[in-house]
Structure 1
C-alpha cells in the first residue's frame, strides 16, 4: 500500500485548479457540519461529499462508511481529498478508501478548523464554505 499524500489547506485551491476530477470528502459528524460549517468545493470546480466516519454524540465508528462511499459511484481515477476537523479522522478514512482500491486519495492535513502543527485549516485559509 502506498503512502497517503498530505496537503495543507493553503495548497488545496491550487491543487484543485491544476487537476480535474476532484472530490472533497468531508468525514466529520453532522453536528460539526451544522455548527462549524461545511467546505464548498463546488466553488472550486470540484464535487463535495459528506459521509461521517464517526456518528452520534459518542462518535461511534460508522460501520456503513465504505458502503455509503461506494454507493456514490466515484471513479477510482478521481482525486479524493479527505477532510475532517484537524486531519486525524481524514487520514483514517483515506486509508479505508485506499484499501478499497482508490489510488488518488489525499489527506487535507490541517482539516477544516485547522491543526496548529500542520496549518491553518480550510476555514482560516479562506476557502469557500457553506
Structure 2
C-alpha cells in the first residue's frame, strides 16, 4: 500500500509568489502583500499564522481568527526551538506540512525566517506576509505610517 500526497492547487497569487521566490533563489515559497494575504484568507484558500510573540499579539493587536505559533518568545525574542513542530500541530486540520499557510510578524523579517525554517522542515506551501503587521520603521523610527497590515486598513483587534 502506497501513501500518496494530494497535490494542492495553489491560487494564482501564490503561484506568482513562488515563481518570484524561485527566480530570486529564495529558500522558501515566497511572500505576498498584506492585501493578497487577507483576500486568500477570506476566500478560505490559506491560513494566516501569526509568528510574533504572545506579548506582541496582546499589546499591539492581532488579526481575528489567525493561528498563533511564535517564532521567538519573550521580550528578548528567544528563538522558539519547537516552532516547526508547533506549526505542524496547529496546521493539522488544514493539512499539516501540505497546508497553505501565510506567516505574519511585525515587519516581514521574522516571518521570512520562519518560512525558510518551515520549508527546510518539509512544509510545501508556507509563504510570508510582506510588510508585516506594523510595517517598517520610518525616518522618525515609527512603524505603521507607510506600510503594514494595519496601515493597509485590514482587519485587526486589540486586547
TM superposition score category, shorter chain reference: 0.7 to 0.9
How many Å separate the matches in 1 of 2:69 and 2:42?
Answer: 24
2:150 to 85, 102, 123: 123
Q: What CA RMSD, in Å, does the superposition of the two structures yield over aligned residues?
A: 2.3
Aligned structure 1 segments of 4 or more residues deviating by more than 4 angstroms: none
Q: TM-score, normalised by structure 1?
A: 0.81
Specify the alignment match of 1:11 in structure 2: 36
Specify the alignment match of 1:27 in structure 2: 51
Q: Which has the larger radius of gyration?
A: 2
Higher relative contact order (CA 8 A, sep 6+): 1
Q: How many residues align?
A: 122
Q: Residue by residue, what CA displacement relative to the aligned partner does 1:52-95 show, whole Å, maximum 9, x if unpaired?
A: 11111211111111121122224133211011000010001101
Task: Say if 2:53 and 2:71, in contact at 8 Å, map to a contact too.
Answer: yes
Please state whether the residue corresponding to 1:81 is helix, strand or coil: strand
Q: TM-score, normalised by structure 2?
A: 0.67
TM alignment of 1:1-130, pairs within 5 A: 3=26, 4-17=29-42, 20=45, 22-40=46-64, 42=65, 48-72=66-90, 73=92, 74-75=94-95, 76-115=97-136, 120-130=147-157
Structure 1: gaps (5+ residues) = 43-47
Specify the alignment match of 1:45 in structure 2: none
How many Å separate the matches in 2 of 1:23 and 1:68?
Answer: 15
